Amino acid sequence: MDLQGKAALVTGGASGIGEAAARLLAGAGARVAVVDRDEVGARRIADEVDGFAHATDVSAPSAMAEAVAATEERFGRLDVVLLNAGMTSGQNGVTDLDVDGYRRVVGVNVDHVVFGLNAAVPALRRAGGGVVVVTASLAGLMPHPGDPLYTLTKHAVVGYVRAAAPALAEEGIRVAAVCPGYTDTALIANARNDFGDFPLLGAVDVAAAVARIVENGAPGECWFVQPGRAPGPYGFRGVPGPAGGRRAPDVSWEKH
């Protein structure tokens, strides 16, 4: 992967998958903006990769627009975006529900992706195209009964990526998702001992999959990442259509 002369933005870049991806992108030649709520951590990684740090709460409506603007101002362009910031809900969310906690996990896991893509697209257009990779999860492809709210957010992200990708692909902007299994990062720190000898991914494993998507992933693909397996696009099964072989119309809700 050769990213010489390119600029990248990574959210959740102060640790875990974001940190590993920032290092990998920088190693491929990209100048990297490290975006994270943890200002100290973001500055540490930015200094190490010769990039710059932007501290913000990515769930805030204007945060991603400001991060993109700062990146363009510093680097003069934006080519690669990894919308990686995420969190678990820490609650059942079914038989009990802490509304503030629910709003928070939706804000970070879903709103930040919507705000991030919305902010990035104009900058990518100005650069002549680019790539956006969203960190989803296997919980976006299958249920995770231990955290239904997290599952909700990751299913939403997968659906958003798949629906948003086709139109943007016509402009040379590829949007895809990476869907890792259990990864040994701070998200599972409190439950780390519960995994026993169950194989976990490392952050570098997921970052390597991100690099492959950046290099040659197709629009709308959602790549699974599992220990001991080569990462690749998940094969979604088709949904049965109406009888008679009719195809559903491509309806734009803006017209209604």
Q: Which residues contact 81 (CB under 8 A, 6 or more apart)?
A: 8, 9, 10, 116, 117, 120, 124, 130, 131, 132, 133
For residue 182, is it left (φ>0), alpha (ψ between -120 and 50) or beta?
beta
In whole angstroms, give the CA distance from residue 153 to residue 162: 14
DSSP state of 28: T
Q: How do beta strands 80-83 and 130-135 pair?
A: parallel
150 carries an active-site annotation: yes
Q: How many CB atoms are closer than 10 A to CB 66?
A: 14
Q: Bridge-partner residues for 82, per DSSP?
A: 10, 133
Cβ neighbourhood burial of 251 (10 Å; 0-12, 13-18, 19+) = exposed
Q: Which one from 102, 150, 160, 182 is the annotated catalytic residue?
A: 150
- Sign, CA dihedral 237-241-246-250, equals negative
Reported as half-sphere exposure (CB side, CA atoms, 13 A), residue 2 has a value of: 1
In whole angstroms, give the CA distance from residue 41 to residue 46: 9
**Catalytic residue IDs:** 150
